Chains A and B, each alone.
Chain A
Amino acid sequence: MTWAEDATQLAVDRFGLEVCEHEGPEVGADQLVAFARALKDELDFCFFVYVVSVHYPQVPPVEADAEAGTEAIPGIRDRTVVNYRARRLANADRPTETFAFRTTVPTGESCPSVSSVWVGADWQEREQFDLVGTVFSDHPDLRRIMMPEDWPGHPLRRDYAIDTSHFPWR
């Protein structure tokens, strides 16, 4: 068994999560810190790799059309998907491996911070807050890190186009 299979088993058995092949399990915001801590303390996924927020804009709902024969498709809210990844370093028996998990945060809500689990998440979460606008609750020092403090908006959101009225220089 590999480290990632161990982690998948933990996610399925203890936390009851569904596992997607490439992006790992989708963890609810209420379980996120507990899951991260179990991953680190029990399976030794100590090496922190990244946290990446990806913004997906709102998808408007499609109404049913009886003439064309199409069904109604529910809309999806404006949201960010926060991807995490941690690495289990190699030991004598097994090679190193990373394990990814993610959580979906609707815009306007906050995501729990994992910087109490991995110290290295501190600046990474600040960067994602700065560039994508995900708010991490319980973060010890949530400030902008890349952009100036009075910068309007969050540049890596999909609705922040380069050719809008935001001045691209300061």
Chain B
Amino acid sequence: MNKIESTPGNFILNEDVQWTTVGGVKVPVELITPAWPDPFLDVEDYDPDGDLMVLNMGPQHPSTHGVLRVKLVLDGEVCIKCVPYLGYLHRGVEKLCEKLSYVQITPIVDKNDYVSPMTNELAINMAFEALIGAEVPRRARYIRTICAEIQRVGSHLLWLGTFGLDMGGAIGGGGSIFMHTFRERELLLDLFEDLTGCRFHYNTHTVGGNRHDIPAGWADKATQVLRVIGTRLVEYEDFVRDNHVFRARTVGVGIIDPQLAIELGISGPVLRASGVDVDLRRDQPYAAYDEIDVAVPTETGGDCFARYLVRVAEMRESIRIATELLTGVPEGPICSLKPVKLPGAVKAKHGRGVYTAIESPRGELGTFVVGNPERRQSAIPYRCKIRSPSMHALQLLPYLCPGNNISDIIVTLGSLDPIMGEVDR
């Protein structure tokens, strides 16, 4: 095991990696696998004697991060086929979007990805603004970016805590790291409470800007909290990174082929841990990201440990971005439209479809909206599709699980960071 040097702002890259080009982007050679497991494997063909066991993991299983059911076909303790079943948390959000008006949808999509509601609101309101043609004032864009970055830190903190639980109490005995990360996440929730009045489901973004302005003294408090979390991150790294058990459970487990990941539409930290340097904040700037440099941490390991390293480096980067933006929030209005009193006040003219995407903590979170083609002006979308990164990440399971044993499958699943509310919608 190599001792890894990591200092804030200076992320880790293995210098000895050989690179090749797949799909027009650079990927590490050693992660490319010649053949992928067959997700539709015929079990009868594999073992006609029927000496296999079928195990249903979930939907009520503490380590499936919500109500995911995974049917595993096991040969001894080694999985040979994996079939995920979704839909246990399907709430019909897309149907609701066809019944509610543009300003009423924001609090509904809050509940999609309940770990990072801010980015959900941002994603859907960006699509509505593109459809309606509403401008967003510069101050609102700054507030949106700061919220998104603070939310990213909170989301990754929650992931780190639950990832520790996935390893069966491997880190510091049971829930230690879980308790620590939740303590820090609490500070961030307090920040959001000061800003919006709510701790989880904020309803603070609206079409054309934000509802809530930064209160007096909030910027100083936020900077202070982010500094505290920055110092605690160093403690976590000391706690976790060189922990022997943590290394044993994560290094070399669940290696993801970047070529397969790109084809599956996987994005975010999972793709970056496989060596693909992709980040929509830098490549396709939205909100206020065009006014700030975003460093994109990548790793070349492709395993669970690399995904841990990428997420921790991302937290540092988010803290830096948020702190930097907090010093220069411009003055001005926070919403370009008049305050909405009636739900039908915001109307779209066209019947065309628009797609916008943001980089959520889990990857490319996009929204495809079609305005009502039957009427010249309508306050209700005709069709609204939310492209959730977690659903694409879960498609990896049938390719990742065969050949691994059950305890590794649980760690791999945890490292993908799926949120079932976003998968099922």
Contact = CB atoms under 8 A, between A and B. Distances in A.
Q: Do A and B come from one complex?
A: yes
Interface of A: 22-23, 44, 46-50, 52, 54-56, 83, 85, 88-91, 95-96, 98, 100, 118-120, 122-123, 131, 140-141, 144-148, 155-156, 162
B283 A95 contact: yes
B95 A155 contact: yes
Contacts of B278: 89-90, 96
A123 B383 contact: no
B198 to A, nearest CB: 27
Interface string B253-268: 0000000101111110
Contact of A89 (B24, B385, B395): B24
B23 interface: yes
B370 interface: yes
Interface of B is mostly: mixed
Given A22-B354, A83-B353, A91-B24, A47 B262 contact: yes
Contacts of A123: 391-392, 394-395
Nearest to B95: A155
A147 B90 contact: yes
B241 interface: no
A119 B87 contact: no
A48 B265 contact: yes
Interface residues of B, number: 45
A89 B284 CA distance: 10
A140 B387 CA distance: 22
Given A88-B24, A89-B24, A146-B424, A46 B368 contact: no
Contacts of A46: 22-24, 262-263
Given A91-B25, A146-B86, A48 B283 contact: no
A38 to B, nearest CB: 14
* Ranked 8 nearest A-B pairs via Cβ: A46-B23, A44-B24, A120-B265, A120-B264, A48-B265, A146-B87, A96-B283, A52-B385
B387 A89 contact: no
A119 B280 CA distance: 22
Interface of B: 22-25, 40, 86-87, 90, 92, 94-95, 98-99, 260, 262-267, 276, 278, 280, 283-284, 352-355, 357, 364, 366, 368, 370, 373, 382-383, 385, 387, 391-392, 394-395, 424-425
5 contacts: A83-B368, A96-B278, A98-B355, A141-B40, A155-B95
A60 B353 CA distance: 24
B189 to A, nearest CB: 30
A102 B355 CA distance: 14
B55 to A, nearest CB: 20
A47 B260 CA distance: 10
A159 B355 CA distance: 25
Contacts of B368: 50, 52, 83, 85
Contact of B263 (A54, A85, A118, A145): A118
A48 B394 CA distance: 14
